[in-house]
Amino acid sequence: MMFKSARRDSVITEDPSEFVETVRRERAPKIKRPFTLVELRSILDIASDEWRSMILFGLYSGQRLGDVATLRRSNIDLIHDELRFSTRKTGKTMILPLAAPLRKHIKSLHFADDPAAPIHPKAFDLVERQHKTGNLSNQFADLLAAAGLREKKNHKSTGKGRGSRRDVEPLSFHSLRRTATTILHEAGVPAAVAQALIGHDSEAMHELYVSVGREALQKAAAALPEI
């Protein structure tokens, strides 16, 4: 701007910066983070019954949105207090002890007699039948916006395609997974046990699962607080 002004005022005859490209200013990255308990309570206060249930399942099992949305009655074993399912991302079989608050929530639900009945029917329909997991993520984003934790956004396509860079929000449903991990670590649960309970999928993590027994997993699940 200084050289342009100088040329305009005839102080110089040529602008030495004429062919210099401007440097794009990168926006500060948004770092993903876990929820605070205060934030979680503010979301639960305004969530519908189904979303409240999915949030509790997400927090107390540490599982992804797609896995929580597609849980069926048959995935819950109240006799052994376990949640049994295969992850959609890797197909890994998970057998997780139910944290006391999650067990309490499950017992408050009214299930259909059919073992194949979904626990969260609306979410199940979007993911399993309509294949619109993105719509479900957008619903949660709107819930966060309503709780004052994100800006309200228009979810319509921008037309930029998959190659365009997407804004990464610090809070999403996946943050529940981060929250559960953080709580377990802060409670002094050994890293290997916390990783087995949450079900991280890297090969390095998998080696840690081998030595983790059921008693350690039950102790980890018991460390999760009721909100």
Separation of alpha carbons 170 and 205, rounded Å: 24
Candidate ranges 13-17, 177-181, 203-207; pick with highest mean pLDDT: 177-181
Domains and CATH numbers, the chain: 35-151+170-222 (1.10.443.10)
Q: Which segments of the chain does DSSP mark as H helices, in order?
A: 2-8, 37-46, 49-61, 65-69, 100-108, 121-124, 133-146, 175-186, 191-198, 203-209, 214-222
CB-based contact 180:59 (threshold 8 Å): yes
Reported as a single tens digit per residue, the pLDDT across 18-76 is 767 766 655 555 688 889 999 999 999 999 999 999 999 999 999 999 999 999 999 99
pTM: 0.77
Q: Give pLDDT, residue 208.
A: 38
